[in-house]
Amino acid sequence: MNSAIDSAFASAASAGPDGTLPCSDAPLGPRETWPAPLRAIMDLMLGSRFPMFVAWGPALRVVYNDACAALLGERHPHAYGRPLAEVCTDEWAAVLPVASGALAGKSFLLENVQFSDGKQGGKGGGRPLYVTLSFSPVHDGERSAGVYCVLTDTTASVVAAQQHGFHLKLSAVLRELADPVEIMEAASSLMGRHFAVGRVGYGEIDAAGEVVSVERDWTDGSIASLAGETRPLDSFGPAIVEQLREGKVLRLDDIAADPRAAPYAAGYASIGARAMIVVPIIEGGRLAAIFYLHEPHPRHWSERETVLAEDVARHTREALRRARVEETLRDETRILEVLNRTGQALASTLDLNTLLQAITDAGTQLSGARFGAFFYNGVGEHGEVMQLYTLSGAAREDFAQLGAPRPTGLFNPTFHGQAALRSADITQDPRYGQAGPHHGMPAGHLTVRSYLAVPVVSRSGSVLGGLIFGHPEADVFTERTERIVAGVAAQAAVAMDNARLYEVAQKSALERDALLQSERMARVEAERMSRMKDEFLAMLAHELRNPLAPISSSASLLSIQFAEEPRIRQTSAIISRQVRHMSRLIDDLLDVSRVTRGLVTLQLGEVDFRDVVRSALDQTRPLIEEKRHRIEVALPPDPVRVCGDQTRLIQSVANILNNAAKYTPQGGAIAAELESDGQRLRLRVRDNGSGMPLELLPSVFELFTQGARTLARSQGGLGLGLALVKKLIELHGGSVAAHSPGVGKGSVFMIELPCLAAGEASAPAAAGGAGVHDPRVDAPDRKRRLRLIVVDDNEDAADSLATLLKAQGHAVMVEYTAMAALRRATGERPDAMLVDIGLPDMDGYQLAGLLRGQRETRHTVLVAATGYGQARDRARALEAGFAHHLVKPIDMAALLKILQTVVPAQEP
């Protein structure tokens, strides 16, 4: 460095006649003759690693050390010995007036001045560089002979502050958006403006991993938008695509110079890109999307630009996932409501025309079709085949002149019971237009491009008809749409089979003597169908509980987060009540199914029937108070001992009390009287309600029997409660009866059961049902938050439950597979885990066994949260290592009570 400085001074003074560096008006001479202040500063600079320079003499000639050379960029080494005015041009010009002020004897500090490092980079010709400069005068005797400057590179702190501000702005913007397209557009725009990039966008990869589609992007005008375009991935080179599929970020400073991309220059040229950063987004082990930054010219991407692009990509994906989960939840709620209404309609009528119209309307609404039709294969009086149809979304006049469907290549599969036919554009199907006389859609036919046809096939295999849906736009129906409509078709087949059976039963009643053998065969078939129905109800209950779980959790979360908002609190309460109502209906369906198939095992023990009546009253009291009924209860002073299952007995009495409260007008009177003669007990429940017609009394305890109701269905229910009471009381060796003087004159229900004789021992209570004891269950309540893991492959259920638990102050992690949950639990050692049983890679029972076998999770409290709620499911969960078993939708009060008993792990 010494020789360099000497050389610089010498070269700068080469114009002088004596070859020395001029200082003021006199030559400076050799180095050893320099002024002491200059030599001292030079020694300080050469021994320091901080960037420094000194500007000496009236011309302020510049000398600097190696550390300063790095900041000067391309100005080095030509700046040695040059006047400061020649060195500090363009962006460095701000230094000149400050240096002049320091030469006049003052000290100055310039903070975070932006320069360029001179290297290839952004559109300014170099990457941003931020420097703080401290100027001090250098005195030679009594006068200022030069300026001494120390430079500090503050780029890292300034950039960090800028990135932090950018992240805050991005989070604030995305938080307010709920539409996925708006989220993509906003993230791209913010990123593009922040880094001054030509184009930024978000592309999604199809399920086959072959094409990328861009819905929205942002450009600065120097490069064309790719919005609305779809391109094959292979056009960008296999090495590039493979890197992205491995989850590695792609950074290309110059596509033409990169050996992986250069052979595919045509593909890149077609999108106008010369330099790019591409961040892959991997979901479920596959490349699901990309977040990209494009430049039309070569650009050196910095490490911080790459890292920030990754952060923005992840943030955007999370925002998209949130928006789509909310969108899916809304869609699932809508579907559930439609299915619920359809199920009620199908269960409440056996009229074929009503059934067909309800089926057609439901299918049209669920599929998103513009119009739908149900073509029904029927048989007329003379054996001819008719095709009666119902329409939805279109006027009957639109089809009046078109006639019935002809046996063409497109219609035949549906009416012969083959697989469903779904087409994004039916006019492009090779079978379209092949049959005369129309060779396509006849004149006047509604425009159809998207087409979906699903056959309706009975359990016996006969084709009942076909559901056909159309839309004038292409690509409307998805695979999910097809599955939903197929489910509606299955429900339609059951309902239509039931309607047919009803018709057959009516005819059989008129022809009983002549058709005795046919009636017997029909009864056998009806019994077989009933068994299949019971099995179907058990699976249906499980499937319905899964969507109810996130709905219930979301409603609870709304009531917590918006406790001060009356409308939201009211809406949350409505949702919660309807979820509880559906849960009760599901439980009744399951109980009836299990009882009728003889699958109920009573947990027998000695029970005081007075306690049964009190507990049943507690369960029905909310309805009684809501309707402002007067309730009178008469219980004997001494215990009334029976051998029975207390839970099932309470359920039976509660159903009768609930029935009395439901069918008694506001402000009515209900009386419950229990008496015993030592041999048998009798419980009478009286009301002054709507009563029953005499013709209803013989069948009041049969399935699906209800009294007269209005079209408003104000009393609700499915007619299961009393049938369940009869079955359960009979299992206890008792009987149940009903009496009513007539409509409007009230009703009396009576339960009779055998009593335990004095000194007679009752059957021991069966084990199980209380949960496996955990050593930490009895620990006192602690006000410390728990570390929890929610495991459920239903992302809506897992995310909504996790959000609700977070609102309770707990630290919650979510996993959607058993293996991921096992890895997370081993590392995190949670206090408790809520585990779904039906997981995709292994079931919850296996996961519980693995967790119990590991030292890290041996003391974690395991709670089964599942749609399977029968006794054998509960017993199996306890055997597998679960401490508790909850049925979806989860009762949050019960869950929170369980969590209150969990002791957080001791901190180290």
Residue-wise pLDDT tens digits, 584-633: 666 666 666 566 656 566 778 899 999 999 988 988 888 898 889 999 99
Residue 789 has pLDDT above 90, yes or no: yes
Residue 727 has pLDDT above 80, yes or no: yes
The CA–CA distances, whole Å, from 679 to 672, 674, 729, 752 equal 20, 14, 16, 10
Task: Say what the pLDDT of residue 867 is.
Answer: 78
Predicted pLDDT at 603:
79
Residue 591: strand, helix, or coil = helix
pLDDT of amino acid 23:
35
Whether omega for the bond prior to residue 58 falls within 30 degrees of 0, making it cis, is: no
Is 90 exceeded by the pLDDT of residue 634? yes
Q: CB within 8 A of 777, min separation 6: which ones?
A: 861, 883, 901, 902
What is the pLDDT, as a whole number, of residue 760?
62
What pLDDT score does 811 carry?
92
The DSSP secondary-structure symbol of 83 reads: B
Q: Using the Cα atoms of residue 620, residue 625, residue 628 and residue 632 in order, give the sign of their dihedral.
A: positive
Kindly report, residue by residue over 163-195, the tens digit of the pLDDT.
777 777 777 877 777 777 777 788 888 888 888
Residues belonging to the chain = 908
Amino acid residing at 144 = S
Judged by DSSP in three states, 513 sits in coil
Average pLDDT score, the chain: 78
Report the pLDDT value the prediction gives residue 640, as an integer from 0 to 100: 92
DSSP string computed for 397-417: HHHHTT-SPP--TTTHHHHTT
Highest mean pLDDT (candidates 2-6, 17-21, 576-580): 576-580
Position 614 scores a pLDDT of: 92
Rounded average pLDDT over 415-443: 73
Residue type at position 138: V
> If you average pLDDT over residues 91-117, what whole number do you get?
82
Measured CA angle at 252 (ends 251, 255), to 5 deg: 160
What strand order describes the sheet that includes 463-471?
Answer: 385-392, 371-379, 463-471, 450-457, 421-423
Lowest average pLDDT, out of 232-241, 296-305, 413-422, goes to: 413-422
Contact between 863 and 832 (Cβ < 8 Å):
yes
**How far is 56 from 84, CA to CA, in rounded Å?**
9
Can you give the pLDDT at residue 540?
A: 62
pLDDT level of residue 3 (50, 70, 90 thresholds):
very low
The tokens describing 257, both together, are 């110079």
The residues, any chain, with a CB within 8 Å of residue 828's CB and separated by 6 or more, are 787, 789, 813
| R_g (Cα) of the chain, nearest Å | 41
Listed ranges 50-64, 436-450, 594-608, 765-779; the one with the highest mean pLDDT: 50-64
Instruction: Compute the distance between CA of residue 362 and CA of residue 345 in angstroms, rounded to an integer.
Output: 10
Sheet of 735-739, strand order: 630-634, 669-676, 680-687, 747-754, 735-739
Determine contact, residues 746/687, Cβ cutoff 8 Å. yes
Residue 91 has pLDDT above 80, yes or no: no
| Burial per residue of 319-339, b for 16 or more beta-carbon CB atoms within 10 angstroms, e otherwise | bbebbeeeeebeeeeebeebb
* Three-state DSSP state, 131: strand
Residue indicated by tokens 């509960």: 874
Lowest mean pLDDT among 183-192, 430-439, 767-776, 898-907: 767-776
Distance CA 902, CA 786 (A): 8
Task: Compute the average pLDDT of residues 635-649.
Answer: 91
For residues 271 and 196, what is the distance between their CA atoms, to the nearest angstrom?
18
Q: What is the pLDDT of residue 633?
A: 93
Q: CA 895, CA 901: separation in Å to the nearest integer?
A: 10
- Token pair of 620 as six digits: 């029905």
Q: Roughly how many angstroms between the first and final C-alpha of the chain, as a whole number?
A: 55
List, in sequence order, every residue forming a beta bridge with 277; answer none if it has no partner. Answer: 251, 293
Rounded distance between C-alpha atoms, residue 400 and residue 378, angstroms: 19
CB atoms within 10 A of CB 410: 21
Distance CA 592, CA 724 (A): 6
Distances, alpha carbon 81 to alpha carbons 6, 11, 187, 411, 869, in Å: 9, 8, 49, 92, 88
Q: Which residues contact 824 (CB under 8 A, 6 or more apart)?
A: 789, 813, 815
Whether the link from the prior residue into 437 is cis, omega within 30° of 0, is yes
Higher-pLDDT residue of 437, 16: 437
Region 192-205: mean pLDDT is 87
The confidence score (pLDDT) of residue 817 equals 93
pLDDT at position 5, please? 45
Those residues whose C-beta lies under 8 Å from the C-beta of residue 195, and which sit 6 or more positions away, are 122, 293, 305, 308
Q: HSE of 221 in the Cβ direction (CA atoms, 13 Å)?
A: 0
C-alpha 202: how far from chain center: 20
646 has pLDDT over 80: yes
**Cα–Cα–Cα angle for 449, 450, 453, nearest 5°?**
120
* Cα distance between residue 111 and residue 106, in whole Å: 17
pLDDT of 120 over the 50 cut: no
Most confident listed range (255-269, 414-428, 545-559): 255-269
Cβ neighbours for 661, distance < 8 A, ≥ 6 positions apart:
620, 623, 624, 627, 629, 670, 687
Asked whether 306 and 251 are in contact (CB, 8 A), the reply is yes
pLDDT one-digit tens code per residue, 474-515: 888 888 888 888 888 887 788 777 877 777 777 767 777 666
What is the band of 832 on the pLDDT scale with cuts at 50, 70, 90? Answer: very high
Is 780 exposed, middle or buried, given 0-12, 13-18 or 19+ CB atoms closer than 10 A? exposed
28 pLDDT band, cuts 50/70/90, is very low
Q: Tell me how many degrees the CA angle 881-886-890 measures, rounded to the nearest 5.
A: 145
